[in-house]
Amino acid sequence: MRHGNHTFKVGRTGSHRRCMIANMLKSLIENGRISTTVVKAKELRRHADRMITLAKKNSLSSKRDAIASLQVKFNPLTSKEARQVKKGDTSSYSRDRIVIGKLFGELRERFNERNGGYTRIIKTHDRVGDSAPTCYIEYI
């Protein structure tokens, strides 16, 4: 029997689903709001709330778990980029470094007193072409 087994497939392979969720999570953390289909947003909500919970723990283990689920690839900084970062210029950072910094900085502080329900889904019109129901998912 399949009791309690929740599977989000949407006609994709497992690796494609993991990459899709990781990319959507990065965009959500970076921008605060993204537009997607309702089915994807409901699945993304599970992962987005888990990321905030990991950020609130703020331990090395939770940072590593977040980095693994976001599929972050840290490229080492060149010596020139390291000098720029020391001066305060973070434009040489990759998108992944900025996302992790925002998750464990700004978002952790924002949701520190909240016990759950960090995201909201706002349904919008159907998409032109395939009439898929679309929505916005955003952090509260």
Burial class (CB in 10 A: 0-12, 13-18, 19+), 10: exposed
- The domains of the chain are located at 14-139
| DSSP E strand stretches across 1-140 | 33-37, 119-126, 133-139
Q: What is the pLDDT of residues 23-73, one digit of tens each?
A: 999 999 999 999 999 999 999 999 999 999 999 998 999 999 999 999 887
Query: Residue 98's pLDDT band (boundaries 50, 70, 90)?
Result: confident
pLDDT average, residue stretch 12-29: 92
Q: What pLDDT does 78 receive? A: 80
CB atoms inside a 10 Å sphere around CB 100 = 20
DSSP code string of 91-108: TTS-HHHHHHHHIIIIIH
Percent of the chain topping pLDDT 90: 62
Three-state DSSP state, 68: helix
Query: Residue 92's pLDDT band (boundaries 50, 70, 90)?
Result: low
Q: What CATH architecture is 14-139? A: Alpha-Beta Complex (3.90)
Three-state DSSP state, 35: strand
- 6, 85, 107, 119, 129 from 36: Cα distances, Å: 20, 34, 21, 14, 14
pTM: 0.82
